[in-house]
Copies of this chain bind each other. A is one copy, B any other.
C-alpha cells in the first residue's frame, strides 16, 4: 500500500501511455554526452547556462532558511502539459522534457528524470546540474538525506505538489530530522521575475450544445446528488484539475498546449457555485451561459483565479465538509481545510463522473475517430507513395498528417506533439522530430507515428508502425507479438468492475513468451475535446475499475535500442457483451475499438496468430470497411478507399489453418488421413 501511496504521481508520469519511455536497461549509465571533468568543461551547444539563476535562487533559499529547494515540472493543477509561465523546472535547468524534478541545495543541483529524457537532459543542462536516472520520490529523498544535514529545512511551493506527492516526500524524509517546509512564495519565480512569460489572455468560450454530453446545469445537479448520497455528507466539492472545471461547465480555453483548458478552480456547494478564473477572458456567450440562472442554486459566481485560497479559508470557518480528490488537489489548498473537515478520495466526483461517457459523448468520440481515421489512412497511403521517392522525413511527415487532420470538420489542433520516428529514433518511445534534426523515411526502416487530433466532438490518439520494404524476421516477429498483445486485450471478455491493472498483462503476454517486454503503460483514458491522457481511466494500479462507457487507449509496444521501435495504439470503448453463460446480474464487458485504421500487413507474421486472433482481426477490418469506407467515398478519396480495401482484406482460412497448426501437426494429420484412405 505504501508503495502506491508514495509513487502514484510518479507512475502517472512514467506511464502516461503514448509519450512514453523505454525500459531502463536499454540505456547504459555513465555515458554523459557532457564532459564536466575538463577545464573548461565540454558542453553541447544546446545547454543553457544556469549559473546566475542558481546563484540567485540560493540567495533566496538562504533568506527563507532552506538548505534544499524542490522544483517540480507541473503547475498548480497537476497538469501533465503546462503553459510557458509554469515551466519553472525548464527555466531553472535548461531541460525541457515534460517530466522531472529538480532539487537545488546550497552547493549542488540535481535533476531526476526517466529514461526517455536522459540524453536530452545531458544535452540541455550545464555542469551545474547532475542527472539522476530515476524518478522515484524515494530516491530523491535518499539523495536529500545524503546532501542535507539533520536539523535543516527542505523547501517547496505547496501549490505545485499534490497531497499525495507531499505525503510521499514526508514519508521519504520521515523521522530523519529534516523538515519539509511549504513556502507559498515560489522562489524560482522570484528569480525568474520580469523574464517570466505573462499569463495567457486567450478567450474562454462555451462549447455548443451539440458537442456536450449534457448541460452544465445537469452536470452540477448530478454532482450535488452524489454529495447528498455520500455517507460522509460533504457540503462542497473543491475542483482543482483544469479538465474538471472545463468539463463541468462546458467551457474550453487555450491556456495549455494541446489541452483546451483554462486556469481555474471551482467550489461547488449545495446552494452555491464559485468559479475562480480571469473573468475578463470569458466570451459573452460563456458569461451568459454561466450567469443565466442568477440568482439561484444554478448561478455561477465568478471570482478571481487568485481568490480561491482566501475564499476557501473563509468557507472552512463554517460547519462544512469539503470533498477533494487527492491526486489533483495541491497541498497548498489542502492545508487550508482543517483535517476534520476534509473528505479525501483519490479523485473528485467530477473526475470519476467525467470518466464514464454517456451515450451522446460516446457517439461524439466515435464520430471524431471516424474522421481521424480518414486522415490517418490518407497519411499512410501518401507515405506508401512518397517514401520510396525519398521525399519524406520525420518532420515533414508529422507536418503532413497534421495538415490532413486540419481539413477535417471540427478540428481544433493536435492533441499532443506528433511522434514521427524512423528507424532507431522510434526506439526512443517519446521521440518527436524537429525542423533541424529529422531523419529521412526509408523503405529500409520501420516508421512509427503516434499522433492525434483535438476535435470539438472528441480527442483522438493513434499509433501505427509500418515498413515499406523487407523487415527482418525479428522485426516481423516483434511487430506481430505487439499486435497479438493489442488484440488479446481488445478482445478480452471480463467482469464488470475489473481494474485495468488486472488485465493489462494480456497486452504483454505474447512478448513475454519470448523474453520481450515494453517499459511503459498499456493505456490511458481520453476526453471529449479534453486531455489526450484523461485520468482516472487506464491500466495502472491507481486507475479506477473499468465500467461501460469508459474510453481507454490500448497500446503495447516493443523498443529495440539503437534499431527500431514498434507501438500499436488504438482507442477503445468499454462495452457490455453477451456471454454463452450468465451468472449473476452484472454484465460482462469487452472493448469496442473505435480507432479504425488497418495494421501493416507487411509486418504481420500470420503464422504466429491464433485462429481467434485472425477472426478478431478480420472482424475489426470489416468494421473499418463498414464505418470508414463510406466516409472515404463521400470525400471522393478513391485511391485511399482502394488502399483501405486492400489493407483490410480478410486473412484467409487457409492461412488460418496453417497458423493454428504448425507444419508438424499438419504433417501428422495428413499422414493419419492418408493411412485412413489406404485402409
| Interface residue A294 (Cβ < 8 Å from any Cβ of B) | no
Residues of B within 8 A of A346 (CB): 1-3
State the CA gap A600–B513 with chains docked (Å). 28
| Interface residue A52 (Cβ < 8 Å from any Cβ of B) | no
Q: Are B611 and A665 in contact (CB-based, < 8 A)?
A: yes
CB under 8 Å from chain B, chain A span 331-358: 339-346
Q: Are B657 and A665 in contact (CB-based, < 8 A)?
A: yes
State the CA gap A174–B337 with chains docked (Å). 14
Q: How far is the CB of A674 from chain B (nearest CB, A)?
A: 9
| Interface residue A583 (Cβ < 8 Å from any Cβ of B) | yes
Residues of B within 8 A of A474 (CB): 581
State the CA gap A164–B4 with chains docked (Å). 15
Q: Are B515 and A175 in contact (CB-based, < 8 A)?
A: no
Q: Are B339 and A175 in contact (CB-based, < 8 A)?
A: yes
Residues of B within 8 A of A344 (CB): 2
Q: Which of B175, B232, B579 contacts A232 (CB 8 A)?
A: B175
Binds B, one of A66-74, A91-99, A214-222, A500-508: A500-508
Known A-B contacts A1-B5, A175-B342; A505 and B515 likewise in contact (beta carbons under 8 Å): no
Q: How far is the CB of A499 from chain B (nearest CB, A)?
A: 9
Known A-B contacts A25-B583, A343-B175; A588 and B668 likewise in contact (beta carbons under 8 Å): no
Residues of B within 8 A of A176 (CB): 232
State the CA gap A174–B673 with chains docked (Å). 73
State the CA gap A666–B669 with chains docked (Å). 9
Q: Are B541 and A512 in contact (CB-based, < 8 A)?
A: no
Q: How far is the CB of A571 from chain B (nearest CB, A)?
A: 22
State the CA gap A654–B669 with chains docked (Å). 7
Q: Are B2 and A8 in contact (CB-based, < 8 A)?
A: no
Residues of B within 8 A of A656 (CB): 665
Known A-B contacts A657-B669, A673-B670; A175 and B321 likewise in contact (beta carbons under 8 Å): yes
Q: How far is the CB of A191 from chain B (nearest CB, A)?
A: 32
Q: Which of B502, B581, B660, B668 contacts A516 (CB 8 A)?
A: B581
Scan A504-527; emit 1 where CB is below 8 A from any B CB, else 0: 111001001111110000000000
Residues of B within 8 A of A494 (CB): 505, 512
* Chain B residue nearest in CB terms to A478: B581
Scan A582-618; emit 1 where CB is below 8 A from any B CB, else 0: 1111101000000000000000000000110000000
* Chain B residue nearest in CB terms to A494: B512
State the CA gap A354–B340 with chains docked (Å). 41
Q: Which of B2, B340, B506, B586 contacts A505 (CB 8 A)?
A: B506
Residues of B within 8 A of A514 (CB): 579-581
Known A-B contacts A5-B1, A5-B5; A517 and B501 likewise in contact (beta carbons under 8 Å): no
Q: Are B512 and A493 in contact (CB-based, < 8 A)?
A: yes
CB under 8 Å from chain B, chain A span 640-668: 653-654, 656-657, 660-662, 665-666, 668
| Interface residue A195 (Cβ < 8 Å from any Cβ of B) | no
State the CA gap A326–B5 with chains docked (Å). 14
* Chain B residue nearest in CB terms to A3: B346
| Interface residue A231 (Cβ < 8 Å from any Cβ of B) | yes
| Interface residue A120 (Cβ < 8 Å from any Cβ of B) | no
Q: How far is the CB of A22 from chain B (nearest CB, A)?
A: 11
Q: How far is the CB of A229 from chain B (nearest CB, A)?
A: 12
State the CA gap A2–B345 with chains docked (Å). 7
| Interface residue A389 (Cβ < 8 Å from any Cβ of B) | no
| Interface residue A142 (Cβ < 8 Å from any Cβ of B) | yes
Q: Are A673 and B673 in contact (CB-based, < 8 A)?
A: yes
Q: Which of B502, B512, B610 contacts A610 (CB 8 A)?
A: B610
Known A-B contacts A8-B1, A492-B509; A515 and B657 likewise in contact (beta carbons under 8 Å): no
Known A-B contacts A5-B5, A502-B501, A665-B611; A515 and B583 likewise in contact (beta carbons under 8 Å): yes
| Interface residue A480 (Cβ < 8 Å from any Cβ of B) | no
* Chain B residue nearest in CB terms to A658: B669
| Interface residue A23 (Cβ < 8 Å from any Cβ of B) | yes
Known A-B contacts A504-B502, A665-B653; A583 and B517 likewise in contact (beta carbons under 8 Å): yes
Q: Are B665 and A660 in contact (CB-based, < 8 A)?
A: yes
Residues of B within 8 A of A285 (CB): none
| Interface residue A495 (Cβ < 8 Å from any Cβ of B) | yes
| Interface residue A145 (Cβ < 8 Å from any Cβ of B) | yes
Q: Which of B1, B501, B666 contacts A501 (CB 8 A)?
A: B501
Q: How far is the CB of A231 from chain B (nearest CB, A)?
A: 5
Ordered by A's residue number, 21 sampled pairs between the chains whose C-beta atoms are within 8 Å are A1-B5, A1-B164, A1-B346, A2-B344, A2-B346, A25-B586, A145-B231, A175-B343, A176-B232, A493-B512, A493-B513, A512-B588, A514-B579, A514-B581, A515-B580, A515-B583, A516-B579, A516-B581, A541-B541, A611-B662, A657-B665
Given contacts A1-B164, A670-B673, 10 further A-B contacts (CB under 8 A): A1-B542, A175-B340, A502-B504, A505-B506, A516-B583, A611-B661, A654-B669, A660-B660, A660-B661, A673-B673
